[in-house]
Amino acid sequence: MTTTGSGEHLPPALRTEALEQLLTERGLIDPKVMNGIITEYETNVGPLNGAKVVAKAWTDPEYRRRLLEDGTAAIKELGFSGPQGEHIVVVENTPTRHHVVVCTLCSCYPWPVLGLPPSWYKDPAYRSRVVREPRAVLSEMGLELADDVRITVHDSTSEVRWLVLPERPAGTEHLTEEELVPLVSRDAMVGVAKVEAP
């Protein structure tokens, strides 16, 4: 393998591969375990879990209350828990209040309900700009909010991870919990998008 000293000029994929190889050689990670974790979060876990949480909250007022009071416990009621989900706080978007989530230090993210974080979530530009100019960043991502909508940015950490309960779109009152699930996107649960009616 060829390096350029510090490796800063190598593509991220090559640096990741080199780091994995080094950690494996030193016995610090088991590639089979790592592959299992990645497969689990890409296929069995992910935004579908979060969408189920949101749909239940939209259709069950008592569950919604519990979710906003103690997100971790309410999410666990549906069987979703595990690493990166030990303490999840849920905030609710309304017509006048919009929440968006970022991790300014790295990429802390509630894996049990959102799966693996998208690349834009880990991007330094998103992590720094959404705190300073959230309305502009959301607009660039395709979400236009009225000037009178108050935006609150929540910084996820290793101790507390945030999940946004998106606003239920008008015209979906007749839909069942199961019918609502496919409408809910990962981006809406991070707060960079809204859920659209079908």
Q: Is residue 186 part of a domain?
A: yes
Q: Is residue 4 part of a domain?
A: no
Q: Do 33 and 59 fall into the same domain?
A: no
Per-residue confidence (pLDDT) for residue 3, from 0 to 100:
44
What are the angstrom distances between the C-alpha of 150 and each of 97, 100, 191? Answer: 5, 11, 13
Residues 6+ apart with CB under 8 A from 147: none
Q: Do 31 and 57 fall into the same domain?
A: no
Dist CA 56 CA 149 (whole Å):
25
Considering the candidates 6, 103, 139, 156, report the single residue annotated as catalytic: 103
Q: Do 91 and 35 fall into the same domain?
A: no
Per the structure, the count of domains in the chain is: 2
Q: Do 31 and 96 fall into the same domain?
A: no
Considering the candidates 6, 81, 108, 158, report the single residue annotated as catalytic: 108
Q: Do 169 and 87 fall into the same domain?
A: yes
Range of the domain at 55: 47-190
Per-residue pLDDT of 8-48, as tens digits, reads 667 777 787 888 888 888 888 888 877 777 766 665 567 89
108 belongs to the catalytic site: yes
Dist CA 91 CA 75 (whole Å):
13
> What type of residue is 134?
P
Per-residue pLDDT of 59-80, as tens digits, reads 999 999 999 999 999 999 999 9
156 belongs to the catalytic site: no
pTM given for the model:
0.79
Residue 72's CB is within 10 A of a number of other CB atoms, namely 20
Q: Do 86 and 171 fall into the same domain?
A: yes
